[in-house]
Amino acid sequence: MTDQCRPGRKRSEQSRLAILTATLELVEEAGYGALTIEGIAARSGVGKQTIYRWWPSKADVLLDAIATTADIRAPEPDEGSFGADLALFLEHTYEMSTESRVADTLRALMAQAQIDPGFRKRFCEDFLFRRRDALGKVVERARERGELPAGVTPDTVTDLVFGTLWYRLLATREPIGQELAAELVALLTRQGASNAEIR
């Protein structure tokens, strides 16, 4: 399967973990701005080439580090009603972003994606759009059930939810608590619709 049919030494899992750990430590200590490949190599006791061999940029190392450590995969709840699904999705997001380590990292990665086009592509495909698709399916189910407000497309609903989350993360830095979740659910659920169906 993942057969290593080539000759030569195998990739060292120990080095890989040391690199990812060192990366997270350094970001936590001094912020993404102070993160350097040189520093990661020094901290993890690894040659620089070993990092360049396996990751295209320091942002990719960080993305890998946070993906390996924290659970940043998007859930696809299916509770029967859009309100419940959305609430669950927001709750997971909330829990993820309360860990300041995760929140700081997400900020840095989104920032780097704006500056480095190469990383932008990978970040979107590996993380951003994956989460978007997850929520997209939830919203699509809601549309089929007629739970969405009138005059709003599913895509716009998704943009709205993620937009609010990211704006809070990047601009105001206020946590996304239960009140906001409740407000979003209230706003994005057609009045009476879901209630009617539940009954």
Partner DNA sequence: GCATAAACGAGACGGTACGTCTGGTCTTATA
Partner DNA sequence: TATAAGACCAGACGTACCGTCTCGTTTATGC
Binding site for a copy of itself (CB under 8 A): 31-33, 107-108, 110-117, 124, 128, 132, 149-153, 156, 159-160, 162-168, 170-172, 180, 182-184, 186-188
* CB neighbour list of residue 123: distance below 8 Å, 6 or more residues apart: 59, 63, 109, 110, 112, 113
**Do residues 44 and 68 touch, judged by C-beta distance below 8 A?**
no
| Other CB atoms within 10 Å distance of the CB of residue 69 | 16
Nearer to a copy of itself, 43 or 107 (CB): 107
Q: Select the binding partner of residue 164 from a copy of itself, DNA, none (C-beta < 5 to 8 A, by kind).
A: a copy of itself
Q: How far is the CB of 49 from a copy of itself (least distance, A)?
A: 12
Nearer to a copy of itself, 54 or 162 (CB): 162
* CB neighbour list of residue 175: distance below 8 Å, 6 or more residues apart: 94, 97, 98, 168
Q: Select the binding partner of residue 58 from a copy of itself, DNA, none (C-beta < 5 to 8 A, by kind).
A: DNA
Q: Select the binding partner of residue 152 from DNA, a copy of itself, none (C-beta < 5 to 8 A, by kind).
A: a copy of itself
Q: How far is the CB of 1 from a copy of itself (least distance, A)?
A: 28
Q: Which residues sit at the interface with DNA, rule CB under 7 A?
A: 4-12, 15-16, 18, 34, 36-39, 45-50, 52-54, 57-58
* CB neighbour list of residue 89: distance below 8 Å, 6 or more residues apart: 74, 75, 77, 134, 135, 138, 161
Q: Which residue has the tokens 């999705």?
A: 89
